[in-house]
Amino acid sequence: MSAPRSQSTLLGSLLLGFWIFAGLAALGALISNGALRFREYERVVTVKGLAEREMPADVVLWPIQFNAADNDIGAVYEKLEVDSQRIREYLLEAGVQADEINSSPPRVTDKLAQAYGNSTRIALRYSATQTLTVYSRHVERVRSALAGLGVLGKSGIAFMAEDYQHQTQYIFTRLNEVKPAMVEEATRNARSVALKFAEDSESQLGKIKRANQGHFSITSRDSQTPHIKKVRVVSTIEYYLSD
């Protein structure tokens, strides 16, 4: 009697396992088909929104380089000291504040030490360069002073042309003040583009799926007006579409 009962129990277990397996397989198929249908009907559009503004720079960094040369090193230092004082006086008269002017130590070159046997060709043995740097938030005031510096040049101060390391720089530091409004504008422009796309494709624009604020860039408007900055941001936004 025990053998038939054991066989009946085994058969029942096998049948139960089969139906469980079949049920799990059917459930997996339904889930898979549902995911496929979801992907099939999930439609999106990716658009970009631009916002640009022209803003005046609010900081100016102006390095003023001048030099002197003589066969007497003491005369070179004396000339630099006199010229430095005259430049300071000019800047103060132009409205630049005393604490906005900084001075660097002179850089002196002994040409005889570098002549390598050609000392007869050296007219003036010592030459020196010094830099006064103006760092100010009064940009227009400093620009006016910069434009009038030629008067000192005519009086005998030897100013050096700007090189790569000593260029006048105009800086815009108020990005955080304009950033929220510009991001809002870029987002609004992106939505306008998305709405037009949805209209052309006979769809309805849905919610935002993904958004990227984008990178802010600050550049000069052009080479002639470096004190005017162009602030730019491009936002990338992905919207859902529906019928």
- pLDDT by residue (tens digit) across 117-169? 565 677 889 999 999 999 999 999 999 999 998 889 888 999 998 887 789 99
Tally of CB atoms within 10 A around 208: 15
Dump pLDDT digits (tens) for 193-220.
Answer: 999 999 998 889 999 999 988 889 999 9
| Alpha-helix runs per DSSP H in 99-171 | 139-147, 150-154
Share of the chain above pLDDT 90, in %: 63
- Tell me what pLDDT residue 177 has: 95
For domain 59-171, give the fold. Answer: Alpha-Beta Plaits (3.30.70)
pTM: 0.75
CATH of region 42-56+174-242, choose from 3.20.20.370, 3.40.50.10380, 3.30.110.170, 1.10.10.10: 3.30.110.170
- Beta bridge pairs of residue 106: none
DSSP conformation class of 114: G
Mean pLDDT, the chain, rounded, equals 85
9 pLDDT above the threshold of 90: no
The band of 79, judged by pLDDT with boundaries at 50, 70 and 90, is: very high
Strand partners, 230: 54, 219
Bridge-based pairing state of the strands 169-171 and 228-242: unpaired
Task: Determine the pLDDT at residue 37.
Answer: 43
Domain boundaries, the chain: 1-41, 42-56+174-242, 59-171
- pLDDT category at 240 given cuts 50, 70, 90 is very high
CB atoms within 10 A of CB 12: 10
| Cβ-based neighbour number of residue 43 at 10 Å | 14
- Across 3-20, average pLDDT: 57
pLDDT at 33: 46
CB 61 within 8 A of CB 165: no
- Of the candidates 42, 46, 43, the one whose C-alpha atom is nearest the C-alpha of residue 236 is 46
